Every structure is written in structure tokens, then in C-alpha cells.
Structure 1
Amino acid sequence: MTRAEQGATAPWSGAFTRLWGAAVVSSFGDALRTAALPLLATRLTDRPLLVVSVTACGYLPWIVFGLLGGAVADRVDQRRAMWTVDAVRGLLMAGFAVAVALDRASIALLIALAFALTTLQTLFDNASTALLPTLVSHEALGSANARLMTGQRIAGGLLAGPVVPLLMAAGAAVPFAADALTFLVAAALVASLRTTPPERAPRPAGSTLRAEITAGLRTLRRDPALRGLCAATALCNVGMGALIATLVLLATGWLGAGTVGYAAALTAYTVGSLAGGVVSGRLVARLGRVRSVLLAGAVQILALVVMGSVRSLVALVASLAVFGLMGMVWNVNTTTLMQERSPADMLGRVSSAFRTLGVAGAPLGALLGGAVATAWGLNTPALLAAAFFVLSVAALIPGLGADVSDGEAGRPRDESSCSDALH
């Protein structure tokens, strides 16, 4: 049975509201920390490699532990795993805030903290993806994902940004203390959920985490829609890495728009993303989920071509707004498809495969973006990103026949395929 069949309530029920609140509070705290850590790093050292290492350690645990985190999430009570991880992260951040306040922080401590937080996140994020379908009905799953992602974008993209300078002005430790508080509040909200852990078939005797990871990957490979979505996500994240790493160069260098133009571009992307959360459901009603993702990718290709070929700040702002809108449509529906199509006892492992490939692609794209910008001009990374999005959309095409918008996903999966994957 799929997780979607076990859902019992609609969005804005008590359980979903608490999960939504935890996600929004956490996103706010994450945005504070993400902005404050590099600023603190520049105060501690003037060596660029060390400053970049703090950010790099936010990627590395996903590559090393991402698949393991998914396998563990499938073994444990996801609600308990989530609140325990957030409580531990809250205590780590509180201790770090004290170290900063006492002027005991160092680059080594920043790197260790970034690595530890992301290692814990590999379990938290996969458990969160697996928990949501137990809180809402199958019909409400897409809407629930849209509301979660929109709330997170508002908290992290719009609200946290203006607050960071104010908190930093109050003291270098204040943003980290605030982040610690958000972790603890989120832990309390998740702990208050009253859910029944899903029934799981007994694991075969002698089953190991390695074997279970392999079984999850085999299940992903056998489903054409999931296989295409996973390949598409990996490819588009290479393109996203190239774009994000060089966007500031595109706006301030190629366009000569300065920091104000760069800020306008980022704001346009955020506003577009919020609009995407609103229109996603309407697109799905007309096209189905896989076709909605396909449309989103195709439109994003056009937006990227405009960014890299039209030398105008207005064009950049408009194209980033469209890019953000379709990016939200992509994210909502790929996540929902993954939840709908994955067997209940393998959702954590399928989720971890998506995330691990996505995170691995981002730094690769950043390096490629920097290389092509140096060789051929500051506008070329956007065109490189468009090329990767073309490959991404092509990877989706074989899965078109497996669209689940007509309610097919709510039916039980072929049990033989699930049991075969365990051997």
C-alpha cells in the first residue's frame, strides 16, 4: 500500500498545520544561519578557500550520507526522528551561539558545525517527505506540498532577509541564537503530532542498510516516471548550480546593474516562486503532474535563454520571475509524484536518491558555470543551464505515459515488485 492511501485529513487540519508551522519556522531559522555563517567566516579569516569550505561542508554530507539517511528514515518512526534531530540541532546551535558570544568561534568550528547540521538533515528531510502522506489524504497531497513550499519560501526568502542585518547589528551571536530557538520550536511542534507509525512488512532476516539502499534504488529504476524524474532532477540541478553561482556576475558584470539590480533579480525570483505555489494545482488539473513538470522545464529553458542573450535588466527580472514560478511548479509536482508513486516502506530511500543526486549536481554546475564564464563571457552560464534543462526535459519524456493525475497513484502498487526488490 502506498503512503497516499494512509492519509486521512486535508490541508490545514491540526496535524498538517503543526507540520507546516514547523517547516516555516525552520526555514526562517535556516535562512538566518545561511546568511550569517559566511559573514562570520569573513570576520574570522581573509582566506577565500577557508570561507568557501564552510559552504562546501553544507553539501558534502548529502553526497556521503544521503542514501544512508533515506534508509534509516524508512526504518524508524519518522515523527520521532524529526523532532529528535531538530532538538539535537537546536542544542548544537545554542552551544555555537554561546561560543560566538564568548569570542571562541573559529573557522574549524564553523566547518564542523556545517558538516554536523547537514549530516543530521539527511535523516530529517527524508523522514519529513515520508511523513507528510500520513497526515493528508491522497487528493490533498499536491496542495499540501504547495502550501509547505510556499510557506517556506515566504519565511526564508522574504521575511528572513531583512532581519539578518538587524540581528547581526545586535551581536554576532544573535542570529545563531535565533536559529537555535527555531529548531527547538520546530521540534516541539513535530513532537506534538499524534500519528500512528505506518505498518511495515518485516525485514528479511539478515537485511542490511546497504541491501535496503540497493532495493530502494532498484525500485526507483523500475518505475519509468520516477526514473525519469530522478534523472531530470539531477540534470537540472547541474544547470541550477551554474546559474546560481554566477547570477551575481550576470547582473552586476554583464548587465552592469549593480547590487540594486541583483537584489531586484532575486526578489523577482522569490515573487515568481510564490505565484507558482498558487498556480500549480490549476496546471495539474489541466495537464496532469508529469506533463506539468514537462511544461515547467520547457518554459524554464526559454527563460534561461532570455537571461543569457538579452542584455537588459528588465528582461532578467521578468525571466527570473517566470523561472521562479515554473521552478515551484516543478518542485511541488516532482515531490508529490515521488510520494504518490513510491511504496510506503521505500519512500525515504527514493527521496534520498533524488536529494543526493540533486545536491551532487549543484557544486558540479557551479564549477562548470565559473569555467564557461571565464572562457566565453558572464552570460554563458545561463545558456549552459538552458542546455542542461533541455537534457532534463528529454529525460522526462519516457515517463509521460505513467502520469498519475487521473487517480491511478492511489491504488496499491504491484506487491511482487516490492518484495522482489528486498532480495
Structure 2
Amino acid sequence: MATVTAVSRSAPEWRGGFGRLWTAAVVSRFGDALRAAALPLLAARLTDDAFAIAAVTACGYAPWLLFGLLGGAVADRVDQRRAMWTVDAARGLLVAGFALAVGLGHASIPLLLVLAFALTTLQTVFDNASTALLPSLVDRETLGGANARLMTGQQVAGGLLAGPCVPLLLVGGAFLPFAADAGTYLLAAALVASLPARPPGRQPRPAGSTLRAEIGEGLRFLWRDRPLRAVCAATLLCNIGMGALIATLVLHVTRWLHAGTAGYAAGLTAYSAGSIAGGLVAQRIARRAGRVRALLFVGAVQTAALLLIGCARYLPALLAGMLLLGAMSMVWNVNQVTLMQRRSPGPMAGRVASAFRTASASGAPLGALLGGAVAGAYGPNGPALLAAGTFALAVFSLIPAGKPDVSVVAPHDGATRRHLTP
């Protein structure tokens, strides 16, 4: 009997660009967390309509459906470093303009919808370029550790540091969280621009090659890869649930639990604290079970956490549920992204990533709208129970991909612990 278990065990080198990329990601995430927490609070001040509040979140996901595949194809064609810092600079100027509008008293739901849509449209290029760039900055065997450190650092900055700052900044003015976010985008752009320029590691495109044809290649690769296809479907179901929960969490905390703005900030902080803990154990779980089976365990725990959030009308229960949800979400993200990077051919990394994200992210706007409808019809805790149902379905959809007979594309993909008989 032989066992194939190829999960990275080494830590990435901070030199060679990874340290600067990590710093840029952490700084940018700090600002994003300020904006993400302040935006629904601002929406709740502008309207009492639960559906309108949820629509702000939905607009933050919709561009993935419209431009996600195009963003991945563009990321494979251009200098990924240049694409990232250009996008961050544009987002910094956009959010700075929004902060000015809020400060002058011109905030409105339509303006929030436009901002959310525009930022995510730019993000379709940035995220796919970032996913494709990381493997060129670290050794292949350290990808898992690099992703864990990157995501954990982002959670420290975005949750433990940014979360408690939101109520304090709001005291000084509703525009302050957005002004801070603009500054972090511009700083991150400068850090990414300072990364060492690398010769493109891609072959020249065939004559007559079109974006449409290249997008099709990425879609076909994702469909034919059994583990990636199964994980993508499961992530789609999870995103429906998370979209419903996130879009209405402010209503759940302030109107069902009556915990106010401080309770909302505490819930976000608990989620981030759990994410940090998840980042510390993500690789350990993957070594023991393989990446796909790790996702099965994670999904089951998340389902239980969502049931706790939706059924127990106590702030401590919400905090415990968010802590668990955050920890398992980090384990899921680290293993899902690493599996995708390690199974994707280098020249197609951006397109495979965009195909995966577009397909899986399509559930988030649907979930956000469903969450608003369910909250209005059944109460603010309804979306959490809806999310528990979609996570349970995700677990069942992953079971075939976690079986030992999953085909192994590469011996070091970490997809499963496959037992082979001689």
C-alpha cells in the first residue's frame, strides 16, 4: 500500500516580493474592512427597507457574473503586477470621491449601489491577477503556507484591528471609514508597484487567438477537473448562504438581538478572530485529511455554527457561531485557493481562477437578495437558517470528490490522500 499525500510543509520566503505583496494585501484589507462594516450601517441609516439594504451587498457581487471571466483572461494577457497597482490606484481615487460625497451629505442608496458595483468590477481584474502572480513569488511547495499567511494577515488587519475602529471612526463622521479605505488602496498600489518586474512566464498567444477562445479554455479545464468542479459547486452553495447572512447581518444584530452597533462590530470581530485561528490550523488539517476532505469537515462545522446563530437569540451565541464560522471559512479558503493554484497550468492560472470565482460567486448576489426577502418575510434570523441549509447541501455535493478514487492530475496537488495498491 502506498499513500500519496503532497501537501506543502514549508514556509514561504519573505524576500523576493512575497513580503511586499503580503504587506500590500494586509494594508488594503484593513481599509476594506472599514468600508465593508460602514457601508451596511450607512445603508441602514438611509432606509428601513431590508431589500434595499441587501441590494447594496448584491451589487458588490454582481460584476463577477458580468465581467469575472473577462477579468481572468485579461490577467493572463497583461503584466499582473502592473494590473494590480493600476486597479488599486483607481479604487483609491473612487473611494476618496465617495468619502467626499458622504462628508458633504450627498450619500444615497443609488450612490452606494454604484460604488459597490464599480469597486467589484475593478476587483475582477485584481483578484485574478493576484492569484496568478503569487505562484511566481514563492516556491510551488510553499503555496499552501503562503496562502495561509496571506489570508491570516488580512484577517488580523481586517477584523481584530479594523473592526473595533469602525464605531470610533463613525463618531468623527460617516465619511471617515471611506477616507481611510481610500488611503490604504493608494498605499497598497505603491507597494505592489515596487515589486520586482519579472519576465512574463507565458508562451506567445497563437495568431488569431481571441479573448472568447481563451476564456473557453479556462472554462473547459475547470469542468474537466473533477475535484475543482466539485469544490466550485460546493463553494457556489456556500456563497448563497453567506450572501444571505452577510447582507442582513446588521439587521440580525441590531433588530433581532437588539445589540446595537457595538454588537454588530463584536460579531465581525469574533468572525475575524476565528479566521486567524483557522489560518493557524488550515495546513495541519490538510496534511491529515487532504484538501477536499478537509472541506467536508469544514462544511459540517459551518452548518452547525449557522444553526446556532439562527436559533439562539443571545449575543454570546452569535459571537460563538461567528467565531466558528470564521475559523472554518479560513480553512476552506486556504485549501480551496491552494488546490486551484496547484492544479491550474501556469499560463491559464488567471482564466481558471476567474472561471472558478465567476461560477461560485454567482451564488452571492442571489443569496443577498434571498436574504433580504427572507428577512422581510420571516424575520432577521431567517437568512442564517437559510445559510445553514445551503451549507448542508454543499457538504453532500462534496462527498463524491472526497472519495479515494478521485483521479490525481498531479502527484503533488494535495487534492486527496489517495491509497494505491501496487
Q: Normalised by the shorter chain, which TM-score bucket?
A: 0.7 to 0.9
Q: Confirm or deny that 1:408 pairs with 2:419.
A: no
Letter in 1 for 2:284: R
The AA in structure 2 aligned to 1:203 is R
8 Å CA contact 2:55, 2:368 repeated in 1:
no
Q: Partner of 2:361 in structure 1?
A: 359
SS in 1 for 2:198: coil
Aligned to 1:120: 122
Following the alignment from structure 1 to structure 2, what is the Cα–Cα distance between the partners of residues 23 and 355?
19
Amino acid at match of 2:120: T
When residues 88 and 260 of structure 1 are mapped into structure 2, their CA distance, relative to the original with a 3 A threshold, is closer
Deviation at 1:388, TM superposition (A): 1.3
Instruction: Report the CA distance shift for 1:201/1:186 in structure 2 as closer, same or farther (over 3 A).
Output: same
CA separation of 1:364/1:173 partners in 2, compared to 1, >3 Å: closer, same or farther?
closer
Query: Counterpart of 1:213?
Result: 215
Match in the other structure for 2:419:
none
Aligned partner letter, 1:362:
A
Q: In structure 1, how many angstroms separate the alpha carbons of the residues matched to 2:329 and 2:39?
A: 26
Q: TM-score, normalised by structure 1?
A: 0.84
Aligned to 1:294: 296
1:276/1:324 contact within 8 Å kept: yes
Determine if contact 2:164/2:266 at 8 Å carries over to the other structure: no
User: Aligned ranges for residues 32-111 of structure 1 at < 5 Å?
Assistant: 32-38=34-40, 48=49, 54-98=56-100, 110-111=112-113
Q: Which residue of structure 2 aligns with residue 413 of structure 1?
A: none
Q: Distance in 1 between matches of 2:320 and 2:107?
A: 42
- Pair 330,105 (structure 1): closer, same or farther in 2 beyond 3 Å: closer
Q: Distance in 1 between matches of 2:333 and 2:206?
A: 34
Q: 1:345 to 1:9 in 2, by over 3 A?
A: farther
Aligned to 1:241: 243
1:93-148, Cα deviation, whole Å (9 max, x unpaired): 34444555566766655544433222111100110011111111122111111111
Residue 278 of structure 2 corresponds to 276
- SS of alignment partner, residue 209 of structure 2: coil
Flag the 1:361–1:193 CA change in 2: closer, same or farther, 3 A.
same
Please say if 1:394 is aligned against 2:396: yes
Question: For structure 1, which segment, 129-138 or 313-322, has the greater mean C-alpha deviation from structure 2 after superposition?
Answer: 313-322
Residue 408 of structure 1 aligns to a residue whose secondary structure is coil
Q: Residues 291 and 403 of structure 1 are in contact (CA less than 8 Å); yes or no, is this contact kept in structure 2? A: no
Partner of residue 417, structure 2? none
Task: Confirm or deny: 8 A CA contact 1:235 1:388 kept in the other structure.
Answer: yes
Change (3 A) 1:398 1:28: same
Q: What does residue 148 of structure 1 align with?
A: 150
Q: Flag the 1:178–1:247 CA change in 2: closer, same or farther, 3 A.
A: closer
1:180 aligns with 2:202: no
3-state DSSP of counterpart to 2:141: coil
Indicate which of 279, 303, 321 corresponds to 2:323. Answer: 321
Displacement of 1:59: 2.3
Q: 2:312, 2:95 → 1: CA distance?
A: 44
Q: Distance in 2 between matches of 1:271 and 1:180?
A: 25
- CA shift in 2, pair 1:23/1:253, >3 Å: same
Give, in whole Å, the separation in 2 of the partners of 1:191 and 1:118.
21
Residue 297 of structure 1 deviates from its aligned partner by: 1.0
Residue in structure 2 matching 1:333, options 319, 331, 335? 335
Instruction: Please tell me the residue identity of whatever aligns with 1:409.
Output: D
Residue in 1 that maps onto 2:162: 160
2:140 aligned counterpart, secondary structure: coil
Q: Work out whether residues 11 and 143 of structure 1, in 8 Å CA contact, stay in contact via their aligned partners in 2.
A: no
> Could you tell me how far 1:358 is from its partner in structure 2?
3.5
> Sequence identity of aligned pairs in percent?
67
TM-score, L = length of structure 2:
0.84
Q: Which moved more, 1:205-214 or 1:94-103?
A: 94-103
- For residues 118 and 313 of structure 2, what CA distance do their matches in structure 1 show? 42
What secondary structure is seen at the aligned counterpart in 2 of 1:139? helix
**Contact 2:267-2:322 at 8 Å conserved across structures:** yes
Contact 1:93 1:177 in 2 (8 A): yes
Q: Is 1:203 matched with 2:205?
A: yes
CA change 1:317–1:31 in 2 (3 A) is closer
CA distance in 1 between partners of 2:272 and 2:363 (Å): 22
Q: Quick one: distance in 1 between partners of 2:381 and 2:114?
A: 35
CA distance in structure 2 between the partners assigned to 1:256 and 1:32 by the alignment = 22
Shift of 1:311: 5.3
Contact 1:70 1:122 in 2 (8 A): yes
Amino acid at match of 2:399: I
**Counterpart residue identity of residue 76, structure 2:** D
The alpha-carbon deviation at position 234 of structure 1 amounts to 0.4
Q: Relative to structure 1, is the Cα distance of residues 97 and 242 closer, same or farther in structure 2, using a 3 angstrom cutoff?
A: closer
- Alpha-carbon spacing, 1:279–1:111, altered in 2? closer, same or farther (3 Å): same
| RMSD over aligned Cα atoms | 3.2
Q: Which amino acid is the alignment partner of residue 329 of structure 1? A: V
Distance 2:110 2:358 in 1: 25
Deviates more, 1:10-19 or 1:321-330: 10-19
Counterpart of 1:115, as a letter, is F
**C-alpha distance in structure 1 between counterparts of 2:409 and 2:135, whole Å:** 16
Query: Cα deviation per residue 1:313-358 (whole Å; 9 max; x = unaligned)?
Result: 4444323322221111001100110111111122112211232233
Name 1:418's counterpart in structure 2.
none
Give the conservation status (yes or no) of the 8 Å contact 1:141–1:336. yes
8 A Cα contact 2:222 2:356, kept in partner: no
Q: Aligned pair in 2 of structure 1 residues 301, 404: CA closer, same or farther (>3 Å)?
A: farther
In structure 2, list runs of 5 or more residues that go unmatched.
Answer: 1-5, 415-422
